[in-house]
Chain A
């Protein structure tokens, strides 16, 4: 029975690349993520031809790296590797490296499973939402509790939709850090 690669998750595909050197699995990953890698490279490099060439190189590197090093979170891996490619390219071109290219080394984020609602998480979440700054909590409250759309929040706050998304991400990150500290005590 032929394998339906389309139905496999990213982690399953990576496992096939790592264990069986499965080029088909690798190609599915390429098709699934090439627009994302291209978009990230376009965002950082502002150069279409460099971004298209870089996209292929990132996947070539994935093929080699996947067989030699374990890839735990594919999303994190592809994001960081694409950023590193962008940094290298900008350095070669002797262009300034933007702060947005800073690579997160917080590995705990990969392993912190906050989706599971247990007693520890609940209590930590309660405490952390209380201790958050009101400004940060407002973004979370509007988007998750009041279920307002990004567009609506942008018009209320008089900012762009991207800014709204980034503010929510920042507030969530603050919450995650707080919960992680409370759980790890």
Chain B
């Protein structure tokens, strides 16, 4: 950069103080001294404040001095300065135009606070809509069967345990093999026996009966052209449960027989209990729990029904089990159950549009 270039640079970035009142008036009236014209122009080329002033003052009708005299003398009150309090400008516009740094701190605080609130609301949402409803549902089912409270609690816990232990998740293709695992078989069997015993002891309370009766009504998800004979169902459902007990006792007493016979008897007992004694009840209870929203418990009963392919409500149980699984969000299980349902000739009577 040569000497001229240095002069060029320095003249570009030369800074000077704003025009005085006299200079401004002289500029407006075209009475600037020739020697100060260049300096004033260089300043104006750098200062937008003075250019705006010049433009504003040009609009004045009268002399500048007269207008300046009209400006009231400002009041300068004593200002109490509290070093702990950050001064807030009086206007919201001034607030909005605070330096970026201060605003960014504010923004950071507000954004982190928003994030925190969002997280809390998320946790609350999960708690109230995912955990609470389940609790509410079980509480509702407990209250509806006050006399069977212990049984219901136990049943709920067991059913939940069963579900959690991936009984349904690991379901094989054939539904009849779902319960092939010994542990599952036993727990289901025990659970079923407990349920039968408890209900036989106490009897079905009125509220439960109403729910069952409601469940027996033509189900809304089913298509109207149901081929099922209602009289058959009623007959099956009203089979005395005492017979189950007697049969079970007989099986236990006959335990001295050969092992093959024993196995057959046990199998027969299990089938009999659900086939004759609680054949209809299992399904009705399942429906009542389903209606109550206790899908886990309902599934337990549906599974008991599904163990017997010759069960008159087998396809219904498949359908409702699939609905329950869908309610629990287990899509793969839903798919398996529906595939099984589609193997049956009368599957078209079911409203499969209810599934996603």
Contact = CB atoms under 8 A, between A and B. Distances in A.
B13 A42 contact: no
A38 B49 contact: no
A121 B6 CA distance: 11
Interface string A81-123: 1001001100100000000100101010000001101000110
B148 to A, nearest CB: 71
Contacts of A68: 79, 81, 87
A46 B100 CA distance: 30
B71 interface: yes
Nearest to B44: A165
A31 to B, nearest CB: 8
A75 B45 contact: no
Secondary structure class of chain A's binding surface, majority of residues: helix
Nearest to B80: A67
A155 interface: no
Interface string A42-71: 111010100111011101110111011100
Given A32-B20, A84-B93, A84-B97, A43 B56 contact: yes
Contacts, number: 160
Interface residues of A, number: 69
B97 A103 contact: yes
Interface in B1-35: 1, 5-6, 8-15, 17-21, 24
Contacts of B45: 143, 150, 165, 168-169, 172
Contacts of A84: 91, 93-94, 97
A168 B11 CA distance: 13
A35 B68 contact: yes
Interface in B44-100: 44-57, 59-60, 64, 67-68, 70-79, 81, 87, 89-91, 93-94, 97, 99-100
Contacts of B50: 36
A79 B56 CA distance: 14
B38 interface: yes
A39 B9 CA distance: 31
Contacts of B194: none
Given A84-B94, A105-B100, A144-B12, A150 B44 contact: yes
B18 A36 contact: yes
B37 interface: yes
Contact of B48 (A64, A144, A169): A169
Most buried by B among A33, A35, A105, A172: A35
Contact of A55 (B21, B24, B71, B77): B71
21 contacts: A32-B20, A35-B53, A36-B50, A42-B60, A56-B73, A60-B74, A61-B89, A63-B79, A64-B87, A67-B79, A69-B87, A75-B18, A84-B93, A84-B94, A87-B93, A107-B100, A114-B13, A117-B6, A147-B38, A169-B46, A172-B12
Interface of B: 1, 5-6, 8-15, 17-21, 24, 37-38, 41, 44-57, 59-60, 64, 67-68, 70-79, 81, 87, 89-91, 93-94, 97, 99-100
